[in-house]
Structure 1
Amino acid sequence: MGYDKAKIYSLSTCSHCKAAKRFLGECKVKYEFVDVDSLTGEERKAIIADIKELNPRCSFPTIVIGDAVIVGFHEDKIKEALGIKDGD
């Protein structure tokens, strides 16, 4: 496996974000997540600025695995970034 850690910028109400978290868990990948809609004030502004550097449209989920930035829930792209081949 290429990377065993990921970071997800998500919204607590987003079904695609929940699916991405579930999928990473099924792949036994440790991940950090930030539910942006749970933040307030300066903390929220700072995280949104970070996300816009990675994903100018600031859409969710935004997943960071190593140098890869995946916007949306795409199992194939997540597997590729993690170095997982079908059958692993």
Structure 2
Amino acid sequence: MDILPMLTWTTQHLPDRVAQSIRETVPDPRVLSDWQVSQIAQAVAATVEEAARLDRPRQRRREWMLLIVGLIAGALLSIPVGIWVNSIT
């Protein structure tokens, strides 16, 4: 799964969703102004983007490890299967 579309979605929509959630939780504009809600939403979106950016190398390492393990397991499994096929023919 490519993370770029997810990051683009986060950049475009997360601040709006967070602002909407905050406004639903605190509907009175005297408690939190629209500017404050917008600033909180931007801060949350920046935190989420930074966490996603930090997790990207870990995800790539995991994908490479799974690829290598899969190739090794496939090679190790193909040897006995080949021997078995040769023995029954």
Fold match by TM threshold 0.5 = no
TM-score, length of structure 2 as denominator length: 0.27
Choose between structure 1 and 2 for higher RCO, CA contacts under 8 A separated by at least 6 residues.
1
TM-score, length of structure 1 as denominator length: 0.27
Higher-Rg structure is 2
Q: Could you say which structure has the higher strand fraction?
A: 1
